[in-house]
Structure 1
Amino acid sequence: MSELERYGWNETREAAFASSRAKGWTPGRVSLEHKRMYRIWTENGELLAELSGKLRFEALGRDDLPAVGDWVAVSARDEEGKATIHGVLPRTSKFSRKTAGGETTEQIVAANVDTVFLVSSLNLDFNPRRLERYLLLAWESGANPVIVLTKADLCPDPAPYLEQAEAIGLGVPVCAVSAETGEGMDAIRAYVTRGRTAALLGSSGVGKSTLANALLGEARLAVAGIREDDARGRHTTTHREMFALPSGGLLIDTPGMREIQLWDVGQGLSETFEDVVAVASGCRFGDCRHEREPGCAVREALRAGTLSEGRYRNYRKMEAEAAYAARKESARLQAAMKRKHRR
């Protein structure tokens, strides 16, 4: 197996790269992004790369620029250890969120990921509503989600947490692990075999860096403790980076995210809240708003207690949030097209 194949290169990507190879460019994979500089893994080693002027000019938004995990076409200057990025290959998956704050733009957290590990800890910081948000974005990304509950060695009774996670996941694998004792780690390693890519996503302090170090087999990432008053953690990872694992797989570690604003989650919403959608399909009217309409199956399920009030409220909240983000993005893209035509 070549180095590129170890990084996830395959026949489909080779076919998509044919026109770029005809121009003398070579493929590489982004392992680190920092202030518009990129570290690229290529067949001939690691290169430091920057964007070509044409690629930067033609980009309408962040989605058109490389992110960690992306495959790119580069003109390599191996003797200098540098390269220029000319294009981004089609993505098989893309985990995105709205940028934090008031600006309505997309932030790509990781690309071309096979498995998304949604990491939460077995302590007071376990938050079912936040886990639903992560699960929604994971489904929309095109990758397969796996819920990972860490710090099993510190939890005397993990069963209630497992039950809540399984109820939220609706068939998504749930693993309770301890990076300290090794409990459950074999189940995690099975998802990151040779040529496969996984990403760690979760809030600060849930044990992502500790889990990554256990998979790497060495303490390469900094680890910080949690606050005793609320079991929340401090940021230790400050950027997104991809690592090669001893197993031959690849792991993308990401900074902890307290603010998870939604971005383009149409299909993911129905997959994450499959139970809510199933109940709603029993309403008398197809356009039922679940407020005062007669024959509303959702209101009846809420009264009967067969549908969780908190889960339903979170569904409506994220539905409205996603619709708002879609409207803002549509307006932003139209403005970007006008600016491009003027230039």
Structure 2
Amino acid sequence: MNTSVAIDRLRRIGWRGDALPPPGRRLARVVVQHRAGYELHDGEHLFGAQPAGYFLKRGLDPAERPAVGDFVEVEDGRPPHIVAVQPRRSVLARAAAGERYARQIIATNIDYVFVLTGLDADFNPARIERYLALIEGSGAQPVVLLGKRDLRTPEEVAVAVETVHARVGAAVPVHAINAKDAATATLLAPYLKPGDSAVLVGSSGAGKSTLTNTLLGTEAMATGTVRERDGRGRHTTTRRALLMLPSGGCLIDTPGMRELKLTGEEELELFADIEALAAQCRFADCGHGSEPGCAVQAALDRGELSPERWRHYLKLRDEREEQAATLEARLRRERGHRGPDRPHGPHRRERD
């Protein structure tokens, strides 16, 4: 097969490069990762593969192992082996659960992240903010989907959309959808054009599998019911899987995530307005409590800053700083030397 034909074939599954591996190797995309190995797709065929010994080394950063969405170099054999991971153009990750710091990759080489939350007991603007904090440094664009709109009146739907926009800003697309309605596939088509890739995230019971079936045009994914008391559902999706859609785009479906820990590398750009306010305080080290000249407290008093959004910003900021400190400590251990001691806190001073 000549180079141009091979590249055109790979473009169907999201490849953006112009070069192929050296002779003896071929490119494919990771579709599923499971305990027994990987399932790959080369734009024409689906096949199984095993990771090369390097990826099984003890102590290897999990982020260096192949993940769903990766383009990998494969050497044929019985079975084929993954021998290298191509550079990633985008990475969506979170901190893994547990005390030991580790980044867990959710998906790679994606253009959009669909954040799906139901307009039932699942509706939680603070959780949407947390998702967006994780997405902002990924290289992908967030798209908020408010599912189960058929459970609410048009007026209630409009209020929910306005509430989310007030928390995340007007630049983030927000769509109210009925995941069972075929018209939803048309609504989301601009994000799933040929060669585009999106990952679908949200809580269990939010309707991810239902939406995936609608986008596929077939009942390929198992769906379940949710508990009325809290809107939670069972994990009908148990592993990440990349699916090719009739639109020509690729969708990565994911299990429901109960814990969304920040990695410590977030900039929290979603709260740039709050940080701009803090920069206007009289004191550079203002604690935003009872200090005179506090711009944040003044904005809260005037009703220009929501107390709920302020509290959530503080929660995410503190978590980010704690995770960043944990990450730095791990990096110091890996470097084998101790970093410089931190200076004592600065004396209070007024801004120039």
Taking structure 1 as the reference length, what is the TM-score of the superposition? 0.89
Q: Which residue of 2 aligns with 1:166?
A: 165
Q: Matched residues in 2 for 1:38 and 1:59: separation? A: 20
CA contact (8 A) 1:68 1:240 kept: yes
Q: CA 1:43/1:236 → structure 2, altered by over 3 Å: closer, same or farther?
A: closer
Alignment partner of 1:328 is 2:326: yes
Q: Matched residues in 1 for 2:111 and 2:149: separation? A: 25
Q: What is the CA-CA distance between 1:292 and the residue it aligns to?
A: 4.1
Q: Which residue of 1 aligns with 2:177?
A: 177
Q: Which residue of 1 aligns with 2:70?
A: 70
Alignment partner of 1:146 is 2:143: yes
Q: What is the CA-CA distance between 1:48 and the residue it aligns to?
A: 1.3
Q: Which residue of 1 aligns with 2:130?
A: 133
- The one-letter amino acid paired with 1:258 is R
CA contact (8 A) 1:204 1:235 kept: yes
State the SS of the aligned residue for 2:18: helix
What do the CA deviations read for 1:231-265 (whole angstroms, capped 9, x no partner)? Answer: 22221111100000001100000010121111134
Q: Which residue of 2 aligns with 1:195?
A: 195
Alignment partner of 1:318 is 2:316: yes
- The one-letter amino acid paired with 1:272 is L
CA contact (8 A) 2:12 2:43 kept: no
RMSD, matched Cα: 2.0
State the SS of the aligned residue for 1:72: strand
Q: What is the CA-CA distance between 1:44 and the residue it aligns to?
A: 5.5
CA contact (8 A) 2:263 2:323 kept: yes
- The one-letter amino acid paired with 1:165 is V
Q: Greater helix share, 1 or 2?
A: 1
Count of residues paired in the alignment: 327
- The one-letter amino acid paired with 1:14 is D
- The one-letter amino acid paired with 2:246 is P
Partner residue of 2:115 out of 115, 118, 128: 118
Gaps of 5+ in 1: 339-343
Alignment partner of 1:253 is 2:235: no
- The one-letter amino acid paired with 2:167 is I
Q: Which residue of 2 aligns with 1:235?
A: 235
CA contact (8 A) 1:60 1:333 kept: no
Q: Which residue of 2 aligns with 1:341?
A: none
Q: What is the CA-CA distance between 1:164 and the residue it aligns to?
A: 1.1
Alignment partner of 1:5 is 2:11: yes
State the SS of the aligned residue for 2:304: coil
What do the CA deviations read for 1:81-100 (whole angstroms, capped 9, x no partner)? Answer: x3211121111111111112
Percent identical residues: 43
Structure 1 or 2, whichever has the larger Rg, is 2
Q: What is the CA-CA distance between 1:23 and the residue it aligns to?
A: 5.9
Q: What is the CA-CA distance between 1:43 and the residue it aligns to?
A: 4.9
State the SS of the aligned residue for 2:136: helix
What do the CA deviations read for 1:199-241 (whole angstroms, capped 9, x no partner)? Answer: 1011011111100100000011110111111222221111100
State the SS of the aligned residue for 1:14: coil
Q: Matched residues in 2 for 1:257 and 1:293: separation? A: 39
Q: Which residue of 2 aligns with 1:101?
A: 98
